[in-house]
Structure 1
Amino acid sequence: MNLTLIRYFMAVAETGSFTRGAERANVTQPTLSAGIKRLEESLGSSLFERGRASQLTPAGARFLPRARLLLQEWTAARRELRQEGRPAKLRLRLGYIPGLPQQRLTALLGSFITAHPDIALEILEAPATTLTRRLDMGRIDAAILPLGDDGDEHSLSLFRQRYLLAVPQGHALARRSTARISDLQDQPFVIRPQAEIMPAAEKLFDGLNVRPRIIGRAESDAALLALVEAGIGVAILPHWLGTDHVATLTLPELRDTHRIGLRWREDDSAALQQLRDFAAGHDWDAAAGRTVLGH
């Protein structure tokens, strides 16, 4: 059976006209008419009532669903056979915490995808506790999150995250390079409650009996930065996060830093090995200046 002739038949049947059918099939009308005639001779039945707006005969009406099925099966078979020789993509599910330097993170992911088109990367942004739970359950393969001070064979340290005090440019502390925790007494303060630095900061405030005036809570570091820029309050933010509209000061008493790294599941894979090698060679401090995070 010639599939080209079946396409001619479908074109006429679906448009209701030999003229429009020829246009759809991208052939001349004589070519289409000749093809339909050859198909009818092959089947031994007339498919169209000539002279009646190309109306299907009873035989043509019965043949129509079978012709449609033949074309669908051919298309499916061709697609399947064309993909047969292609290697299946390796699936890699990667999570990362909010608050990472977004431009550098996307540079890592973008270059990784470009270098490894055979890997299908799925990404998830979530708090560290959520990512750890998903790793334990096998719902993700790896995650970029805070690591403990003691490394293990299933983690790779990437960089240290430090924290600075961000204040509006017109703030009384803006001309200074450092600040004391006592300087924050009664200061309007905005926080991200889930931020990794918060337990250490709260412990330090309690130990020194310093009480900032918490006036706002946000879900992202970018939102905290916007509040500081607007002059609403001050905030403790990762060292790479800032703009020309805020001043940043070191807090010598707040020595707490977090080791950010890649952690992965115990059942290793080729895709994970590729990611580990790529992440290990990624220069997180390459970009000059400070980067505004997307989250």
Structure 2
Amino acid sequence: MNLTLIRYFMAVAETGSFTRGAERANVTQPTLSAGIKRLEESLGASLFERGRAAQLTPAGARFLPRARLLLQEWTAARRELRQQGKSTRQRLRLGYVSGLPQARLAALLGSFAAAHPDTALETLEAPAATLNRRLDLGRIDAAILPLSDDADDMALSLFRQRYLLAVPTQHPLAHRSTARIVDLQDQPFVIRPQAEIMPAAERLFAALNVRPRIVGRAESDQGLLALVGAGIGIAILPHWLADGSVATLALPELRDSHRIGLVWRKSGEAASQPFRDFAAGHGWDGAARHPVIGH
């Protein structure tokens, strides 16, 4: 059965005119008339009374609801099959916090995408609070962010992020391997206000009555590194960021570090499972076979 011919029939039946039917079907009237004739020959019955108005014959009237049903069934079948075709590609909406090693994170995501071509990966970089809120609302399936001490079984620990003091290479502290918080009194400081280490650092500075001078703020740790390298100030940075452009010192009094891990929502377990297995299967250190996060 030719569905185009059935559409021609429906166009004429619903408009009551071969002329208006041709306009609706977006074909010329001779094309439509020839198509109706072919349909009638196929069915072995005349469907229209040829006259000033295209009136349905008794056979045409009986065929009309069946023709309408055929088109409806075809539309429903096509929609269902198209949706099934789309659903074969799993979507993973993954968030991650600022302050992760970007090149290594990108390498991890790239290798995952290459290994799972049937997964449509969507990523979002945002503060931890935003990611947790989106997880709660079901707007992302999983996120890489600092884990709380009471992280439940819906979390996978990946690595521990430590922090160092970064100073310009010509700074008086640059020749030392460690520094004390009191050494930072009145020192020019550059900060990332949203950095996960900031609350612990502020509490420690306040407890020791040390007040560094804030001379710059940046949106990223890479921005802080650039400011330190330019001699603008000193900063507390993740251990993995040191690249030789600045001198780094340990801050033994700042014992705070963060477990970085993958968390997911229960309703997103199926979507996140392949990535969880992939991330857990990597060595999260500098000797990893694949370039991934952490040292």
The TM-score, its normalising length taken from structure 2, stands at 0.69
For residues 83 and 266 of structure 1, the distance between their equivalents in structure 2, rounded to whole angstroms, comes to 24
The residue that corresponds to 2:42 in the other structure is: none
Does residue 212 in structure 1 map to residue 207 in structure 2? no
Does residue 190 in structure 1 map to residue 204 in structure 2? no
Does residue 141 in structure 1 map to residue 151 in structure 2? no
Does residue 200 in structure 1 map to residue 191 in structure 2? no
For residues 250 and 30 of structure 2, the distance between their equivalents in structure 1, rounded to whole angstroms, comes to 77
For residues 65 and 261 of structure 1, the distance between their equivalents in structure 2, rounded to whole angstroms, comes to 65
Contact 1:93 1:121 (C-alpha < 8 Å) held by counterparts: yes
Alpha carbons of structure 1 residues 214 and 82: separation in structure 2 relative to 1, 3 Å = closer
Contact 1:108 1:282 (C-alpha < 8 Å) held by counterparts: no
Does residue 226 in structure 1 map to residue 226 in structure 2? yes
Structure 1 residue 270 displacement after superposition: 3.0
Identify unmatched segments of 5+ residues in structure 1. Answer: 1-60, 67-77
Contact 2:142 2:268 (C-alpha < 8 Å) held by counterparts: no
Contact 2:141 2:269 (C-alpha < 8 Å) held by counterparts: no
Query: How many residue pairs get matched?
Result: 223
The residue that corresponds to 1:284 in the other structure is: 284
For residues 145 and 83 of structure 2, the distance between their equivalents in structure 1, rounded to whole angstroms, comes to 37
Alpha carbons of structure 1 residues 149 and 84: separation in structure 2 relative to 1, 3 Å = closer
Contact 1:190 1:234 (C-alpha < 8 Å) held by counterparts: yes
Alpha carbons of structure 1 residues 177 and 117: separation in structure 2 relative to 1, 3 Å = same
* Structure 1 residues 85-118: Cα deviation after superposition (integer angstroms, max 9, x where no partner): 7862001100000010112211211111111111
For residues 287 and 248 of structure 2, the distance between their equivalents in structure 1, rounded to whole angstroms, comes to 18
Contact 2:141 2:271 (C-alpha < 8 Å) held by counterparts: no
Structure 1 residue 268 displacement after superposition: 4.1
Contact 2:92 2:271 (C-alpha < 8 Å) held by counterparts: yes
For residues 196 and 269 of structure 1, the distance between their equivalents in structure 2, rounded to whole angstroms, comes to 26
> Which stretches of structure 1, 4 residues or longer, exceed 6 Å deviation after superposition?
63-66, 80-87
Does residue 93 in structure 1 map to residue 93 in structure 2? yes
Alpha carbons of structure 1 residues 87 and 136: separation in structure 2 relative to 1, 3 Å = closer
For residues 226 and 232 of structure 1, the distance between their equivalents in structure 2, rounded to whole angstroms, comes to 9
Contact 1:159 1:284 (C-alpha < 8 Å) held by counterparts: yes
* Structure 1 residues 212-252: Cα deviation after superposition (integer angstroms, max 9, x where no partner): 01111111111111100000000000000022220000000
| Structure-to-structure mapping, 1:104-183, within 5 angstroms | 104-183=104-183
Contact 1:159 1:260 (C-alpha < 8 Å) held by counterparts: yes
Report the secondary structure of 2:107's partner residue: helix
For residues 199 and 112 of structure 2, the distance between their equivalents in structure 1, rounded to whole angstroms, comes to 34
The residue that corresponds to 2:56 in the other structure is: none
Report the secondary structure of 1:92's partner residue: strand
The residue that corresponds to 1:103 in the other structure is: 103
For residues 247 and 105 of structure 2, the distance between their equivalents in structure 1, rounded to whole angstroms, comes to 24
The TM-score, its normalising length taken from structure 1, stands at 0.69
**Letter paired with 2:128:** A
Report the secondary structure of 2:131's partner residue: helix
Contact 1:191 1:236 (C-alpha < 8 Å) held by counterparts: yes
Report the secondary structure of 2:267's partner residue: coil
Structure 1 residue 272 displacement after superposition: 1.3
Structure 1 residue 64 displacement after superposition: 12
Report the secondary structure of 2:202's partner residue: helix
The residue that corresponds to 2:249 in the other structure is: 249
For residues 31 and 221 of structure 2, the distance between their equivalents in structure 1, rounded to whole angstroms, comes to 59
Does residue 258 in structure 1 map to residue 258 in structure 2? yes
Alpha carbons of structure 1 residues 209 and 87: separation in structure 2 relative to 1, 3 Å = closer
For residues 257 and 267 of structure 2, the distance between their equivalents in structure 1, rounded to whole angstroms, comes to 30
For residues 247 and 161 of structure 1, the distance between their equivalents in structure 2, rounded to whole angstroms, comes to 19
Identify unmatched segments of 5+ residues in structure 2. Answer: 1-26, 33-77
